[in-house]
Amino acid sequence: MRINAMAEGPYVAAQAAVTKRLTDKYAQAGRTIENDVLGEPVLWALSPQDAKILVKTFMLDENTKVDFLSDLTAYDNMDGEDGEGRFIMVYQLYSTTLHTRIRIKCRLTLNQPAETITDVFLGANWLEREVFDLYGINFNGHPNMRRIMMDERFSGHPLRKEYPIKQREPFNDNVRLHMGANAREVDTHIKEGGN
Amino acid sequence: MASFFQEKDPHQLNDFYNPNVLINLGPAHPAMHGTLRVMCRVNGETIEDANCEIGYLHRGIEKLGEDKTYHQWMVYTDRLNYCSALNNNIAYAMAVENLFKINVTERCMWIRVICMELSRIIDHIICVAINALDLGAMTVFWLLYHWREEAYTMIESMCGMRLTTTYARIGGMSYDLPDNFTERLWKFCEEFPKALDEVEGLLTSNRIWIDRTKGVGIISKEDALKYSITGPVLRASGVDHDLRRDRPYYVYPELDFDVVVGSNGDVYDRYLIRLEEMKQSVRILQQCNKKIPNGPLWVNDKRVMIPEKLDVYTKMEVMIHHFKIFMEGIDVPKGENFSCVEGPNGELGFYIVSRGGPKAWRMRVKSPSFMLFQAFEASVKGGKIPDAVAHLGSVNIIAGELDR
Inform me whether the pLDDT recorded for A182 exceeds 60: no
Amino acid letter, residue A28: Q
Amino acid letter, residue B277: E
Q: Distance (Å, rounded) from C-alpha B266 to C-alpha B237?
A: 8
Cβ pair B251:A194 closer than 8 A = no
Predicted pLDDT at A2? 55
Dihedrals φ, ψ of A159, to 5°? Answer: -85, 0
Cβ pair A37:B335 closer than 8 A = yes
Tell me which residue range forms the domain holding A178: 1-195
For chain A, give the percent of residues with pLDDT over 90. Answer: 23
Burial group, residue A176, by CB count within 10 angstroms (0-12, 13-18, 19+): exposed
Q: Which residues pair with B342 in a beta bridge?
A: B347
Domain segments of chain B: what residues?
Answer: 61-297+325-403
**Peptide bond preceding B27: is omega within 30 degrees of 0, i.e. cis?**
yes
Q: Distance (Å, rounded) from C-alpha A128 to C-alpha A36?
A: 24
Burial group, residue B303, by CB count within 10 angstroms (0-12, 13-18, 19+): middle
Mutate: best of B59, B113, B259, B351, partner A, most A CBs <10 A = B351
Q: Distance (Å, rounded) from C-alpha B244 to C-alpha B396?
A: 20
Query: pLDDT: is A175 or B73 the higher one?
Result: B73
Predicted pLDDT at B312? 87
Query: pLDDT: is A146 or B14 the higher one?
Result: A146
B227 CB within 8 Å of a chain A CB: yes
Chain CA centroid to CA B45, Å: 31
Q: Distance (Å, rounded) from C-alpha B44 to C-alpha A50?
A: 47
Mutate: best of B222, B374, B397, partner A, most A CBs <10 A = B374
B171 CB within 8 Å of a chain A CB: no
Contacts of A149 in chain B (CB under 8 A): 54-55, 58, 403-404
- For residues A18 and A41, the answer to whether their CB atoms sit within 8 Å is yes
Cβ pair A179:B335 closer than 8 A = no
Chain CA centroid to CA B306, Å: 28
Cβ pair B228:A68 closer than 8 A = yes
Number of domains in chain A: 1
- For residues B393 and B134, the answer to whether their CB atoms sit within 8 Å is yes
Cβ pair A103:B340 closer than 8 A = no
How far apart, in Å, do the first and last CA atoms of chain A sit?
A: 74
Cβ pair A38:B98 closer than 8 A = yes
- For residues B88 and B77, the answer to whether their CB atoms sit within 8 Å is yes
Residue A78 Cα distances to A81, A178, A181, angstroms: 8, 37, 32
- For residues B337 and B135, the answer to whether their CB atoms sit within 8 Å is no
Using CB atoms and an 8 Å cut-off, which of residues 47-86 of chain B contact chain A? 49, 51, 53-55, 58, 60, 62-64, 66-67
Q: Min CA distance, B144 vs chain A (Å)?
A: 32
Predicted pLDDT at A149? 87
Mutate: best of B113, B247, B359, B401, partner A, most A CBs <10 A = B247
- For residues B28 and B35, the answer to whether their CB atoms sit within 8 Å is yes
- For residues B364 and B350, the answer to whether their CB atoms sit within 8 Å is yes
What is the spatial order of strands in the sheet that B46-53 belongs to? B21-25, B37-43, B46-53
Inform me whether the pLDDT recorded for A57 exceeds 50: yes
Query: pLDDT: is A147 or B118 the higher one?
Result: B118
Q: Min CA distance, A123 vs chain B (Å)?
A: 4
Predicted pLDDT at B193? 92
Q: What is the mean pLDDT of each run of 10 residues along chain B (404 residues)?
A: 46 56 76 77 81 86 90 90 89 91 89 92 91 87 89 90 89 88 91 91 90 88 90 91 89 89 90 92 92 89 85 89 88 90 90 90 91 88 85 87 87
Predicted pLDDT at B19? 63
CB-closest option in B10, B103, B228 to A70: B228
Q: What is the mean pLDDT of residues A101-111?
A: 91
- For residues A115 and A139, the answer to whether their CB atoms sit within 8 Å is yes
B301 CB within 8 Å of a chain A CB: no
- For residues A121 and A69, the answer to whether their CB atoms sit within 8 Å is yes
Cβ pair B223:A122 closer than 8 A = yes
B150 CB within 8 Å of a chain A CB: no
- For residues A135 and A160, the answer to whether their CB atoms sit within 8 Å is yes
Residue A36 confidence class, pLDDT cut points 50, 70, 90: confident
Q: Distance (Å, rounded) from C-alpha B15 to C-alpha B19?
A: 8
Nearest to B267 by CA among B333, B337, B196, B209: B209
B252 CB within 8 Å of a chain A CB: yes
Contacts of A70 in chain B (CB under 8 A): 228, 338, 340, 347, 349, 366
Cβ pair A165:B366 closer than 8 A = no
Cβ pair A37:B403 closer than 8 A = no
Which residue of chain A has the CA closest to B334? A37
Any idea what the CATH number is for the domain that residue A25 is in? 3.30.460.80
Mutate: best of B5, B40, B338, B373, partner A, most A CBs <10 A = B338
Q: Distance (Å, rounded) from C-alpha A124 to C-alpha B110?
A: 36
Residue A1 confidence class, pLDDT cut points 50, 70, 90: very low
CATH superfamily of B61-297+325-403: Cytochrome-c3 Hydrogenase, chain B (1.10.645.10)
Nearest to B80 by CA among B50, B100, B97, B60: B60
How much helix, strand and coil, in percent to the nearest 5, is found in chain B?
Answer: 55, 10, 35
Express each pLDDT in B245-302 by its tens digit.
888 888 888 889 999 999 988 999 999 999 999 999 999 999 998 999 988 888 888 8
Cβ pair A123:B375 closer than 8 A = yes
Express each pLDDT in A68-99 by its tens digit.
999 999 999 988 888 888 899 999 999 988 88
Amino acid letter, residue B114: I
Which residue of chain B has the CA closest to A191? B11
Q: What is the mean pLDDT of residues A113-121?
A: 90
Lowest-confidence segment of A19-23, A116-120, B90-94 by average pLDDT: A19-23
Strands B21-25 and A139-140: unpaired
Q: Which residues contact B306 (CB under 8 A, 6 or more apart)?
A: B169, B171, B172, B298, B322, B325
Task: Tally A–B CB contacts below 8 A.
Answer: 168
Q: How many helices (H) and strands (E) does chain A have?
A: 3, 7
Which residue of chain A has the CA closest to B104? A4
B187 CB within 8 Å of a chain A CB: no
| Alpha helix positions (H), B101-231 | 106-134, 138-159, 181-203, 207-213, 221-226
Cβ pair B351:A73 closer than 8 A = yes
Q: What is the mean pLDDT of residues A26-55?
A: 87
Contacts of B226 in chain A (CB under 8 A): 121-123
Mean pLDDT of chain A: 83
Predicted pLDDT at B163? 87
Q: What is the number of other CB atoms lying within 10 angstroms of the CB of residue A10? A: 12
CB-closest option in B63, B227, B366 to A122: B227
Q: Distance (Å, rounded) from C-alpha B324 to C-alpha B326?
A: 6
Q: Distance (Å, rounded) from C-alpha B393 to C-alpha B106?
A: 38
Predicted pLDDT at B6? 45
Predicted pLDDT at B301? 85
Q: How many helices (H) and strands (E) does chain B have?
A: 18, 8
